[in-house]
Amino acid sequence: MGEQRHRIWVAPEGCIACRACERSCPCGAMRVADGQAAIDYGRCISCGMCATKCPKHVIHDTLGIYAAR
Ligand code: SF4
Ligand code: SF4
């Protein structure tokens, strides 16, 4: 299944591995490894917090609610 099934997703390019998303996640669902953030969908509650914290705006949500401008 593609990640688009989930409300929050991370673009495959543009992440600078700053870990702001990892620190902001209340569920321990966001992990940064090898320079790329990735979501453990078994833990993610789609709260959108990570998307609001990403300085590179590479975390998106399928509804566009948290999309940074
Ligand atoms: S949407 Fe919320 S729970 Fe899911 S990875 Fe982002 S901060 Fe964590
Ligand atoms: S906040 Fe954005 S740039 Fe920073 S590690 Fe997370 S996805 Fe990458």
Nearest CA to ligand 2 atom 4: 18
- Tens of pLDDT, residue by residue over 19-69, are 999 999 999 999 999 999 999 999 999 999 999 999 999 999 887 777 554
The overall longest dimension of the chain from CA atoms, in Å, is 28
Residue with tokens 């609001």: 52
Class at the top of the CATH hierarchy for domain 3-61: alpha beta
What is this structure's pTM?
Answer: 0.87
Nearest to 15 by CA among 35, 29, 34: 35
* Ligand of minimum distance to the alpha carbon of 30: 1
Ligand 2 geometric centre to CA of 1 (Å): 23
Dist CA 10 CA 60 (whole Å):
6
Read out DSSP for the chain? --GGGSSEEE-SS------HHHHH-TTS-EEEETTEEEE-TTT-----HHHHH-TT--EEETTSSS---
